[in-house]
Amino acid sequence: MDVQLLTYLFVGASFALYIGIAVWSRAGSTKEFYVAGGGVHPIANGAATAADWMSAASFISMAGIIAYSGYDASVYLMGWTGGYVLLAMLLAPYLRKFGKFTVPDFVGDRYYSSVARTVAVVCVIFISFTYVAGQMRGTGIVFARFLEVDVNVGVMIGMAIVFFYAVLGGMKGVTYTQVAQYCVLIFAFLVPAVFLSIMMTGHVLPQTGFGGTLVDAQGNDTGVYLLHKLDQVVTDLGFREYTEGSKSTIDVFFITAALMCGTAGLPHVIVRFFTVPTVRDARISAGWALFFIALLYTTAPAVGAFARVNLIETVNETAYEELPGWFYNWENTGLIGWVDKNGDGIIQMRGGDPFVGKPSYEGASASQGARGEYGERLLSNAPTDNESEVYIDRDIIVLANPEIGNLPAWVIALVAAGGVAAALSTAAGLLLVISSAISHDLLKKTLKPNITEKQELLAARLAAAVAVVIAGYFGINPPGFVAQVVAFAFGLAASSFFPVILLGIFSKRMNKEGAIAGMLVGLVFTFSYIVFFKFISPELNTAEHWLLGVSPEGIGTVGMILNFIVAVLVCKATPPPPEYIQHIVEDIRIPRGAGASVDH
C-alpha cells in the first residue's frame, strides 16, 4: 500500500477507536463530565495525564525546535519535565485532598470569594485558549500533508472530531480516549526514532544513539560522533554550532522557570488528579505519568538531531528536480519553500532567514502557484540580503522525519496518526477545562446557583461547543509556531495560578484580597508584554528591547514574581482570612488519611 492509503487507514482507525470509546463511556452526570466520576485507575490516569500534557508541542514541535535550535531548546526539556515533578510532588496531592473539581473551584473556596473564583475563571480561559490554539494548528499541519488538504481545512476536521468526543463523553470519555491516544502517540514517536537510531548509529535505543558514533551504509562504525558531525555540518553552512547556545543565561533561567511553574499551574493537568479515587492514587498516577512522559522526552533530542543531519544531507546542494518526493509533498502544504536566488537550480541551505515570515507564493496557493525555470514555486517575499534559499517550518520536522529517513510507508502513516492523537488529546482536555470553568465555576457557583444538574450538564456541553469554534479560529490564525504558542500559555499559567495555588496550600495568612490582586497583576503584566512584542511591535522583539533581557517566552517568571510580591503586600495590609479557612489549610497539609477512600 502507498503512504496515502495507509494514512487514511491508520488515522481513520484511530478516529473510529476514539469515537467508539467516547460513545461507550459517555458522561451521564456532571461528576462524570468534569472528573470522570472520580474512579479512574491510577495507571490509566497516568497514561491519560501524559497524553493530556504531551500535546502537539511535545510530539510535533519540540523535536523540531531541538533540530533547529540545538542547545537553546534545552529550556523546553528542562522546564516541562521539571515542572511536572514540581506539580506532582508539591501541589497535586494537596489539591486532591482539598477535593474540588477545578482550579477556580479551589481558588473560590480557599479564598472564600466569588470575585476570586471569577478572576480564576478569566485566567483559565486566557490560558486554555492560548494553549489550545497550538493544538488545533498541529492538527491542521498533520492533515495538510497526509490527507492532502489545506491547513485550514485540516483544523476544521480536527474541530469536528474533538467536538464529538469531548462534548459527548466529557471527562469520562476524554480520559479513556486519552489512554488510547497515549498508546498511539508514544508508539508513533518511538518506532521511527528506533529505526533511525539503528540506521545512523547502530544503537537500538535513540537515547544512547544520540551520544553515539555514526555508522556507514554497511553498518561499520565511522568513529565520528553524531553531535560532532552535526556541529561541523551546520557551521559549514553558516549556522552557529548545534551544541552551543545563543540565549543569555538570564533568559534561559527565566524561560525554564516559566515553563516549570506554568506546568504546575496548568488547569487541564491539575484536574487530572481529581479523576482517581484517593489521594494515594493521585500520587501513584503522578509517578506513572512521569514515566510515560519520560519515554518521549528522553527520545526527542535524538529525533531532532537525526532529522537535522538527514535533512541537510538530503536537500543541500541538490538539484531541485532531483529532490526526493517528500520535499514536493510538503512544498504543496506551504510549509516548505525554496527560492533560486542565484539561478543555478541547486538548493543552497545557508544561515539567515530566506523569507519574510513564511513563503508567499505568486499567483495562487503553494500547489497551484506560478512555476519558475526549474519547476520551483515562485515566491514574492524572498529578501536578497542573504544566501539562504530554503524555508522549512520547524513544526513539520517530526512528521517529515520518517520520509526524510526513507522509512517504510506504514511508519510514515503511523506518525501521522500519532501527531493527530497528540494534538487532539490535549485539545479535548483544554476544551473541557474551559467548559467546566464556564458552566460549573461561573454559572453554577456564581451567577445561577439554583440550576439543576441536567441544566449544568447542558451548559457545559454548549460551552465546550462554543470553545471548539473559537479554538478552531485560533488554530487557523495562530500567533506563532506550535511550541512557541504553548510556551506563552505556560507563562500565563505561571504568572496567574502558580502563586495563588502555592500560597493557598502553604500559607494560612494568605487572604482573598492578596490572591485577587496577585492574579490580576501577574496575568495583566504577562499578557500585555507578550501582546506588545508579538503583535503590536514585533520589530522591537529583540534582546536589547526586552525587560531585563527576558524574552516573551520567559516573561511569565517576572509576572509570577510580581504576583507573589503584590499578593504578600496586599495580604499584610488587609484582614486575615476567617478561622475556618485557616483550619482547612492546616487540614489539607496533614498526611493523616492520605490513603482513605473519602478525602477532605
Looking up cell 514536493 gives: 328
Q: What is the pLDDT of residue 592?
A: 47
Angstrom distance (rounded) from CA 344 to CA 324: 19
DSSP 107-154: HHHHTT-HHHHHHHHHHHHHHHHHHHHHHHHHHHHHHHHHS---HHHH
- CATH number for the region 3-217+224-307+408-589 comes to 1.20.1730.10
Q: Residue 591: which residues within 8 A CB-CB, separation 6 or more?
A: none
Q: What is the pLDDT of residue 564?
A: 96
The total number of residues shown for the chain amounts to 600
Q: Residue 128: which residues within 8 A CB-CB, separation 6 or more?
A: 267, 268, 430, 431, 433, 434, 437, 467, 489
Mean pLDDT within 567-579: 94
Q: What is the pLDDT of residue 198?
A: 93
**Mean pLDDT over the full length of the chain:** 80
25 has pLDDT over 80: no
The pairing of strands 221-225 and 213-215 is: antiparallel
So where are the chain's domains?
Answer: 3-217+224-307+408-589, 336-392
35 has pLDDT over 70: no
Mean pLDDT within 581-598: 66
The percentage of residues in the chain with a pLDDT greater than 70, rounded to a whole number, is 84
Residues 209-241: tens digit of each pLDDT: 999 999 987 888 899 999 999 898 888 877 778
**CB neighbour class for 481 (10 Å; exposed up to 12, middle 13-18, buried from 19):** buried
The percentage of residues in the chain with a pLDDT greater than 90, rounded to a whole number, is 17
Give the residue among 291, 288, 325, 484 at the shortest CA–CA distance from 402. 325
Q: What is the pLDDT of residue 125?
A: 83
The pTM (predicted TM-score) of the whole model is 0.78
15 has pLDDT over 80: no
Please compute, for residue 287, the number of CA atoms within 13 A of its CA located in the half-sphere on the CB side: 6
Angstrom distance (rounded) from CA 391 to CA 354: 6
Residues 498-534: tens digit of each pLDDT: 999 999 999 999 999 999 999 999 989 998 998 898 8
Residues 145-178: tens digit of each pLDDT: 767 777 788 888 878 877 776 666 555 566 777 7
